[in-house]
Amino acid sequence: MDTMKGKTVVLTGPTSGIGKEIAIGLTGLGANLILGCHDIDRGRATAIEIGHRTNGPGIDVLGVDLSSTHSIRQFVRAVLERCTRLDVLLNNAGVSRGSVPRATNADGVEITFATNVMGYFLLTQALLPRLRGSSPSRIVNVASTFASDLDLDDLMFEKRPYEGMKAYAQSKACDRLLTWAFARRLEGSGVTVNAMAPGLVVDTGLYRHTPPEIMARLRQRGGRTAEQGADTAVWRVNCCGLTNRARNAQDGMQVREACRGYLHCHSSFSPEIGFPAARARSTMSPGPYLPCRRHEMVALIVIAAVLAVGMIVWVVEPFLYAFLFSKLIELFVGNPPYMSVEQVFPESRLLRDNWRVIREEVDRILENVEAIPRFHEVDPLQTLISARDDKAWRTFFLKGFGAWLPKNCEQVPRTTELLKQLPLISTAMFSIIDGGKHIPPHVGFFKSVLRYHLAILVPQDAPVYIVVDGKEYHWEEGKDVLFDDTYRHEVWNKSSSRRVVLFCDLLRDNTLPPFLRGLNRLMFRLLRSSRKLQSAARRAEVARDLPGASRA
């Protein structure tokens, strides 16, 4: 490997995460570092730590706020005073505001754009004369596979609602274009301009403002360590074989391999202009789901295979078909065990506000609870978890896989009326478990739904709770909870009385990629038409002459 001994590198954002690992890697190769730090004290502490770990050459630490043009000018003056030669500029510093509201810098520029785009541009432009005079030299911009949502008519999010993740994605799309523009203009000058994407590195300061539910989905995808994310940047800085021509997909096979799947925009790059007039759109979107082009290709192959054997599987066992489809969804959807009801299912307020109305109807059907079937009597597949002891788990179904059960609905008309106003609910029932009942650990296999519970009747004499992925939730009357039942979960009723919840499955329409939403609904229609479910629906019907039951 080439050596960096004696070469001077300016690196921004070096105090944590990928930037810190880049600094460690370059110092270990003998580079003289000038660190541009937003927090000068953290920068000095980082420099001391790196010095102890690598025994490398001295490190200069300078303060810079990349969202401030004044701070950038001061930083550039300090850099030029310290070095007569500049071999590498590595633009790494960046911000992602996550759920933090929109803000602007002193010049009125939105903070994410000011830091991640204007900061890169102004710093590069100001140091360019020194880089030209030190050729061969290099500029490396840290980009991202999240790049997307570039709207050249509204870069500042003044016309559209502000979302921190979209602002970050847009800024990284701009960094791609900025890299290509500089590469075009500096071709033949001896200054090489490249960009790299470190891959998904979750545990960095970049995501400190990201909502917990999005962080949980990111962690489910795995990703890379900060050290692994930094290795491509160190390689780019240290490699002599790269040129400005390696910015395009056709010419950049070596670069693309080294960057582990760096994604390029769909729109054609016009070499005549730095920022193309055409809107750039990437296949990566930072919305509620997190697909990428590779996953979409896998999805198409899996869908074709599923359809090819679909009829055979359907004849043998329709739920196996649904299981395979759920595995497909797992490629695209990740979430924590528990989710915010208000954010994912805000319409649930209708049920919470009317829980006492529902309770009145529950009290009536409980007058002859022995007539309500146990879960394994409705669905024999539930025998292992429903019939393992003499304590009953009874289910009063109102809707199953989108099909209403009229005889049962007639006995709880007001509850049925409320549920019919919530079209995303695919299955609804009253789940009734006896005192002392334990439903053992199990997992669901329908990734295409989320599980919703509204507590209707909860004993107070002992704990009554559910455990999902090792985390307990204790039911309270009138309160609701939303969770993913594909996580391992179990239920305890340690009291001596019955517990009743309104148990609903909620279609994932608002958290699925668009091309999967239609398939998800089609799957439910197919399941509803299966003989197995039609037979289960007949077993789920409860006699209309229950004492006290409402009459239609």
Q: Tens digit of pLDDT for each residue in 244-278?
A: 643 433 333 333 333 333 233 323 222 222 333 23
Q: How far is CA 327 from CA 81, 249, 322, 448, 505, in A?
A: 59, 32, 9, 9, 18
Residue 384 burial by Cβ neighbours in a 10 Å radius (0-12, 13-18, 19+): exposed
Burial of 478 (0-12, 13-18, 19+ CB in 10 A): middle
Question: What are the boundaries of each domain within the chain?
Answer: 8-258, 293-330, 338-540
pLDDT given for residue 309 in this prediction: 60
Backbone angles phi, psi at 518, to 5 degrees: -65, -40
Q: Pick the residue with more confidence: 77 or 342?
A: 77
Phi and psi at residue 312, to the nearest 5°? -65, -45
Residues known to be catalytic: 168
pLDDT confidence of 65, banded at 50, 70, 90?
Answer: very high
520 and 512 Cβ atoms separated by less than 8 Å: yes
Identical fold, 8-258 and 338-540: no
Q: Can you say whether residue 102 is alpha, beta or left, with left for phi > 0 and alpha for psi between -120 and 50 degrees?
A: beta
pTM: 0.47
Residue 468, beta-bridge partner list: 471, 489
What separation in angstroms does the CA of 296 have from each of 64, 267, 290, 300? 40, 18, 11, 6
pLDDT digit string, tens, across residues 508-547? 876 677 767 777 777 767 666 666 666 666 666 675 554 4
Q: Indicate the pLDDT class of residue 279, thresholds 50, 70 and 90.
A: very low
Q: What is the mean pLDDT of residues 52-76?
A: 90
Residue 460: the pLDDT is 93
Fold type of domain 8-258:
Rossmann fold (3.40.50)
> Residues 282, 339, 157, CA angle at the centre, nearest 5°?
40
User: Confidence band (pLDDT; 50, 70, 90) for 100?
Assistant: confident
**Tens of pLDDT, residues 110-130:** 999 999 999 999 999 999 999
Mean pLDDT of the 54-61 span: 82
- Domain topology for 338-540: Jelly Rolls (2.60.120)
Sign of CA dihedral 321, 325, 326, 327: positive
Tokens of 304: 């074709």
Asked if 401 contacts 527 with a C-beta cutoff of 8 angstroms, the reply is yes
> In terms of DSSP bridges, do strands 32-37 and 59-63 run parallel, antiparallel, or are they unpaired?
parallel
